[in-house]
Amino acid sequence: MQIIGASPRPGLGARDKMLHSEAMNDLAGKHILLGLTGGIACYKAAELCRGLIKAGATVQVVMTDAASQFITPVTMQALSNRPVYHSQWDAREPNNMAHINLGREADAILIAPCSADFMAKLLHGRADDLLSLTCLARPIESVPLLIAPAMNREMWAHPATQRNVAQLKADGAQVLDVGSGDQACGEVGDGRMLEPQELLEAVVALFQPKSLQGQRVLVTAGPTYEPIDPVRGITNLSSGKMGFAIARAALEAGAEVTLVAGPVSLGTPRGVRRIDVRSAREMQQAVQAAAEDTSVFIATAAVADWRPANPAEHKIKKDGSAQAPTLSFVENPDILAGVAQGERARSGALYCVGFAAESQDLLANAQAKLARKGVPLIVANLGPATFGQDDNALLLVDAKGVTELPRADKQTLARQLVAEIAHRLKS
């Protein structure tokens, strides 16, 4: 246990940055056609292009004439390291069929930003420029189309736009959400293009196996905080990174994900429903409510085993006696065991996965926890070696034996764990 007031976490060190860099191979071998249409959000396309390439992809940029009013083809050529296409009559193509060749070469087409006008054009199958021609001529079954809308809030809310969004989805396009906030026109509301990192994650998710399609997954993450007085409390060093990575991996795998998070400073993966809690009892209440509509429960959170029996109403001060105050503790509820002993888990409708953060005798302690909790799978790791870090190593312990997941970045491990859980669900 760690007794704290409030202390900042250190930034990324050299080792963490190296691991982050090594993890950025999610799109290795993928070729992305990045289409830009007219809109101020074109400035975000520059960072998006860099992000796609850092993730291992090759990027071919295709721009409309309107897009060229907001960002130059020279900029996008420099970032993509490829000539930018904008004309259907481009003489560089030996067969003069850029709209055919570009679509056949791509693993996916991402239009970011996509204007209201261009969405309407796609809906009606109009093809009067290179980008719209390429989208219409793409092999639908093998080249997915992702659309990142960007427009004024009134344009986004207009019934015509919303009808177009619904029909584009029905036609098989993946229309991404919009952000909300300040707009270039000075207004505030929905319609902003998602941020480059959010778009990058959407592209990465597109290529992940949908092994949990149709499942509802509940994940707990981070520490809990048990107050001693209004300014002090008992917690631990868990950063929540592993749990958040699992939530994202489950979402990528096609699941509907709810994340119950202790006090951490991490961004919520887009598409994940997040419930913030502080104490173990608050986490228990949130889990019990969410578990009623869940098929997989992954208890990643480092829940405090004990809490102060009588938290002080006011700050406990030194009195000059050099005597530390006496604290008495009561045991917190066992969240995992409570869910695992419930009717849905016992009937097989809910698959429970526990985490064991140990400091020694990892395998023995994990096996003991497997028996004690009554769950089909325990994921064990060494807490002091992983709390706050970007990498980890896991032991998967079940009735059949032990599976080792060697040290890797947490997102990679999360995807491997999700694959293991999906395999066990099928078998």
Q: Which residue has the tokens 């219409």?
A: 136
Distance CA 220, CA 206 (A): 24
CA 367 vs CA 185, 370, 374, 377, 421: distances in Å? 60, 5, 11, 10, 18
Specify whether the backbone of 191 is left (phi greater than 0), alpha (psi in -120 to 50) or beta. left
Distance CA 104, CA 258 (A): 37
Q: Extract the runs of DSSP E, i.e. beta strands, from 236-333.
A: 256-261, 273-276, 296-299, 306-308, 329-331
Name residue 404's beta-bridge partners: 395
Phi, psi of 397 (to 5 degrees): -120, 125
Residue 74: exposure state from Cβ atoms within 10 A (0-12, 13-18, ≥19): exposed
Radius of gyration of the chain (CA): 25
Name residue 299's beta-bridge partners: 220, 354
- Local structure of residue 355 (DSSP, 8 states): E
DSSP assignment of 125-191:
T---SHHHHHHHHS-TTTS-EEEEE---HHHHHSHHHHHHHHHHHHTT-EE---EEEE-TTS-EEEE
- Round to the nearest angstrom and report the end-to-end CA distance of the chain: 38
Q: Is 348 helix (H, G, I), strand (E, B) or coil?
A: coil
Distance CA 197, CA 20 (A): 14
CA 305 vs CA 103, 114, 199, 332, 392: distances in Å? 56, 50, 39, 5, 23
Between CA 62 and CA 71, with CA 68 as vertex, the angle to 5 degrees is 100
Distance CA 293, CA 296 (A): 10
The catalytically annotated residue of 42, 114, 185, 352 is 185
User: How many residues are listed for the chain in this entry?
Assistant: 427
| 49 among known catalytic residues | no
Residues with catalytic function: 185
